[in-house]
Amino acid sequence: MQTAASITLNSRISAPPRARSQAHIRPVIFHAPDCVIYAQGERTRSLYQIEYGAVRIYRLLADGRRQIVAFHLVGETFGFEINDTHSFYAEAMVNTGLISIERDAGGQLNDRLVGVALKAMVRAQEHLLVVGRQSSLEKIAVFLVDLADREGGADVIDLPMSRIDIGDYLGLTIETVSRTISKLRDMGIVRLRNARSIEIVKPEKLRMLSN
Amino acid sequence: MQTAASITLNSRISAPPRARSQAHIRPVIFHAPDCVIYAQGERTRSLYQIEYGAVRIYRLLADGRRQIVAFHLVGETFGFEINDTHSFYAEAMVNTGLISIERDAGGQLNDRLVGVALKAMVRAQEHLLVVGRQSSLEKIAVFLVDLADREGGADVIDLPMSRIDIGDYLGLTIETVSRTISKLRDMGIVRLRNARSIEIVKPEKLRMLSN
DNA sequence: CGAGCCGTTGAAACTAGTCAATTATTGTGG
DNA sequence: CCACAATAATTGACTAGTTTCAACGGCTCG
């Protein structure tokens, strides 16, 4: 159960990882769930590193549907754009603390920025392989394995996102997402501690499905 | 109808566009249809610019399926990778002439390389939006509109790829690709001069579908 | 405690996939 | 140049899987 946001915020602000050798400490900016971090069309200000929480990156399609192109978790950096204009939305999914990473003075691409861009590209390409797959079982399996790895490789996955988010990420409806997770449960591969906490009982079988 | 490859090759080799101010002229390397330009796992040698022809970029999945992540047409540059190892295959789809673009001496990222990388990233993200769509009609519509734009905006699209390629690109079977194109024909939106040449009769309707 | 949202489950409708047969196109050898 | 073979594309019938519509259960927050 989550405690009050301000407590979490304050407990972290004094010890940011990857602290630069600069005089001032970068402030942690707090975002409540569903709070917009930046919007499509907005001018790019900086990159963001997640201190705690989780973020979804998405685009709204003309017909109102939403395609989530990426989830970002603790420790990850996001916010890279080609132009100086954001072509995606970024929203906090849970209580989230961010530190912003400024560009160079001249607005030039520095090594860090390029690194983030490349990682984003790899993610997008990998995600393409997943979304292009046929079966919902494969999609969900890949999704869970990826999330487990990124959360530190533990057996228990803490989902920061709703079923709607997962559906918009994988190109499925919430019903199919739910049914597929239920199927994995019935197959004895996962166990649901609650809707947002999934225990992987048989990791090797899950990986087989996500092959 | 295509003439002998060598003739096409020779007719182009003397006038490469974007010629650098260097002493020697870069040779145009010829590739026959289905010829591998580079393979997954191979060491990255250079970037490639398409003088004539068309190229598919794809990855083979563990179960033998093939996900095409990009098509490249005349004038476009491809071959960028994060590591010095290719994580995708590149194959010519028709008779194709390439000129190679070397990296800097130190293997550093130069502006050109970064530009290609960014364009590839944008493409991957855009493609994600397409593949994540539900209906085959939308996918095919987006595909055709994109191709028409990239071929110069004319009403007649020359498809350098097979139905299998299109299917592997959009996450559809060849039958569905064929049926969907036939449906567009029955709707009076396109006309098939032959299987590889599609005339867009009602561009505005096609764009509406691809919205 | 009740309202509201999130998630699950069921049944029907529909879309895309699979299997199979037919037609069109391309290439090869006589 | 034509006949034939091989490949590519289309179409049909059927099946499987996902979406849609709907109802219900459970958790959270006022």
What CATH number belongs to A136-209? 1.10.10.10
pLDDT in tens, B177-208: 999 999 999 999 999 999 999 999 999 999 99
Could you tell me where in chain B the CATH 2.60.120.10 domains are found?
Answer: 5-127
Query: Is A135 a residue whose pLDDT tops 70?
Result: yes
Q: Phi/psi of residue A210, each to 5°?
A: -90, 0
Spatial separation of the C-alpha atoms in residues A51 and A29, rounded to whole Å: 9
Q: A86 with A41: CB under 8 angstroms?
A: yes
Spatial separation of the C-alpha atoms in residues A8 and B130, rounded to whole Å: 39
User: What confidence score (pLDDT) does residue A117 get?
Assistant: 75
Q: Which residues of A touch B122 (CB under 8 A)?
A: 82
pLDDT in tens, A41-86: 999 988 999 999 999 999 988 778 899 999 999 999 998 877 788 9
A121 vs B124, B134, B171: nearest CB: B124
pLDDT in tens, B80-138: 877 788 989 999 999 999 999 876 655 555 677 777 777 777 788 889 888 887 799 99
Query: Is A113 a residue whose pLDDT tops 60?
Result: yes
pLDDT band at A138 (very low <50, low <70, confident <90, very high): very high
pLDDT band at B3 (very low <50, low <70, confident <90, very high): very low
pLDDT in tens, A170-187: 999 999 999 999 999 999
| Chain B residues within 8 angstroms (CB to CB) of chain A | 59, 61-63, 67, 69, 82, 87, 109, 114, 117-118, 120-122, 124-125, 127-129, 131-134, 171, 211
Query: Is B39 a residue whose pLDDT tops 60?
Result: yes
User: What confidence score (pLDDT) does residue A109 get?
Assistant: 54
Q: What is the dihedral of CA B167, B169, B172, B177, to 10 degrees?
A: -40
pLDDT band at B176 (very low <50, low <70, confident <90, very high): very high
Q: Looking at the domain A5-125, which fold is it?
A: Jelly Rolls (2.60.120)
Q: How far is the CA of A195 from the C1' of C3 (A)?
A: 21
Contact between chains at B118 and A62 (C-beta distance less than 8 A): no
Q: Phi/psi of residue A9, each to 5°?
A: -55, -50
Residue B66's nearest CA partner among B154, B136, B140, B170 is: B170
Could you tell me where in chain A the CATH 1.10.10.10 domains are found?
Answer: 136-209
Question: Whole-number mean pLDDT of chain A?
Answer: 83
Decide which of 3.30.70.330, 1.10.150.120, 3.30.160.40, 2.60.120.10 is the CATH code for B5-127: 2.60.120.10
SS3 content of chain B, % helix, strand, coil (to 5): 35, 25, 40
User: What confidence score (pLDDT) does residue B134 get?
Assistant: 76
For chain A, count helices (H), then strands (E): 6, 11
Query: Is A167 a residue whose pLDDT tops 70?
Result: yes
